[in-house]
Amino acid sequence: MTNTARKALTGLVLAGLIAGCSSNVTLQAPAIPVPLTERIPVSVGLRMPADFYSFVHQEEVYGREEWSIDLGNSNAKFFTQLFGHMFRDLKVLEDGDDPQSFDIDALIEPSIDAFEFSVPNQSKTNSFAVWIRYRLKVYDRGGTLVSNWPVSAYGKSQTKSISNSDALQRAAVLAMRDAAALMIMKFDDVTKISSLAGQPTPVAAPVAVPSTGDSEDDGVQVTGVEGRDDETG
Amino acid sequence: MKQVDVTKAAVAVLLAISLAGCVTSRVEDAREGLTGIEEGESIVIMAKSYHLGNETEEKYINCIEKALGNGSKGLRVIPHREFVDSLFPWFEPRTAPAETKNLPKLMERPGVAEKIAQQGIRYIIWLDGDTERVAGGGSLSCAAGPGGGGCFGFAWWQNDADYNASVWDLDGLESAGTVSTDVSGTSFLPALVVPIPLIARTQSKACKSLAGQLRAFIINEETA
């Protein structure tokens, strides 16, 4: 065997070993069904961060394997679909668009605070679980931050009847649907966004700069997260 | 020639039977109201929410759906994912009603009663429970060399499948009762060069027994 062939074989074996220790999952955007609720009578703009169009979460499960979850543009599709169902009108803002140049009552800026998951080896169950914490910032016509709402969602899927990759994907989709259900039920109660409908644009109002600091420092309403299981009823 | 085929088939069946592990099962129901199902009415099988700690497997739900829908006395079963999507977001794990007393308020929500009527759903059956390995033991080792390989030893394990089905009658918006099954199965794996698995189909047995009892409960065979 020549040196080149030996090197190539060694490379192949090493690549195989490395591949054997990592898992890659690509998430397809979930289809959010049309909700059986009335639309909130507000015209909103949606401005999404760059990572909503190409989000990749990588994590090494301690001492075991590396997981890479490519959400791609799932978050962008998810929020566009969801808010399209929830509000009277939706305008998705492009990078560089000035919200004040559009006829909208409110601007919503979602972001991801945290994305976590657990695999069966960690939880000692047959399930994959995914937690996503979104943050929704709502601005009025004048650009003032009126609500800053963290939304925590959870999804879980069994591995027994499907592959690990499919189970993790399913758990992520369920977490996104969980977030959707919470937003549909609580958005207006928490953010009072419907009260922003038809408000006049304040003269010389300052354009708010989204803050990453503590919400109390922003002097805005911060409302507790998600509901509990008795929210429906 | 044909006689040889029949003999082979008989041997295969006997072998399959002898190669199954031991399974014991119990199924019971508790009725709270009269049941029955009319032509055009349907049922839906749901898992209780994982937000409440339930671990019912998707595979088990699919098995119950299939078992209830098949056969001459098959019921009209609406696939659970289709039902959940059609009533989004009111049957998501976070939002699904946990008790029948929540049903009247749910039915008042816009479009909910209409969607349920449109699909002809008479009963919602909520499953909870799972199949777990509760015990196991023995030892088995395998080795391979240039001249061949083989396994020696003996291993066993016991699975318990406990499932409970709550039947909600959407006609009266009340509970019709519960059906439960408890199946225990022990599998064996003796190996003398070649391992011979004697597998107990615990979950499959739990599916068959619960589906059979659920069908009888819904049709109300005692009075029918």
Q: What is the pLDDT of residue A63?
A: 63
Contacting residues of B for A184, CB less than 8 Å apart: 89
Q: Say whether B41 sits in a helix, a strand or coil.
A: coil
CB contact under 8 A, A174 and B115: no
Distance from CA of B100 to the nearest CA of A (A): 9
Any chain B CB within 8 A of the CB of A131? no
pTM above 0.90, yes or no: no
Distance from CA of A128 to the nearest CA of B (A): 12
CB contact under 8 A, A232 and B90: yes
Any chain A CB within 8 A of the CB of B93? yes
Tens digits of per-residue pLDDT, B49-101? 888 888 899 899 999 999 999 988 889 999 999 999 999 999 999 999 999 99
Q: What is the pLDDT of residue A214?
A: 40
Q: How crowded is residue A163: how many other Cβ atoms within 10 Å of its Cβ?
A: 9
Any chain A CB within 8 A of the CB of B55? yes
Residues A14, A19, A23, CA angle at the centre, nearest 5°? 160
Any chain A CB within 8 A of the CB of B86? yes
| CA distance linking residue B64 with residue B59, whole number of Å | 9
Domain boundaries, chain B: 23-130+164-180+202-219
Q: What is the dihedral of CA A217, A223, A228, A230, to 10 degrees?
A: 160
What domains, with CATH codes, occur in chain A?
Answer: 42-200 (3.40.50.10610)
Nearest to B89 among A161, A185, A233 (CB): A185
Whether the bond between A35 and the residue before it is cis, its omega within 30 degrees of 0, is no
Q: What is the pLDDT of residue B147?
A: 84
Q: What is the pLDDT of residue B10?
A: 61
CB contact under 8 A, B90 and A33: no
Any chain A CB within 8 A of the CB of B89? yes
A112-123: b (≥16 Cβ within 10 Å) or e = beebebbbbeee
CA B154 vs CA B17, B128, B157, B194: distances in Å: 20, 34, 11, 11
Q: What ipTM is given for this predicted complex? A: 0.80
Contact assessment for residue A144 and residue A206, using Cβ atoms and an 8 Å cutoff: yes
Distance from CA of A16 to the nearest CA of B (A): 23
List of chain B residues with pLDDT < 50: 1, 223-224
| CA distance linking residue A227 with residue B84, whole number of Å | 20
Contacting residues of A for B90, CB less than 8 Å apart: 36, 232
Q: What is the pLDDT of residue B73?
A: 80
What pairing do the DSSP bridges indicate for beta strands A127-140 and A106-118? antiparallel
| CATH no. for B23-130+164-180+202-219 | 3.40.50
Residuewise pLDDT in 10s, chain A (233 residues) = 455 555 554 554 455 444 455 778 888 888 999 999 999 999 999 999 999 999 888 888 766 678 888 888 999 999 999 999 999 999 999 988 888 889 999 999 999 999 998 888 777 778 889 999 999 999 999 999 999 999 999 999 887 666 778 888 999 999 999 999 999 999 999 999 999 987 776 654 444 444 443 443 343 433 333 333 333 33
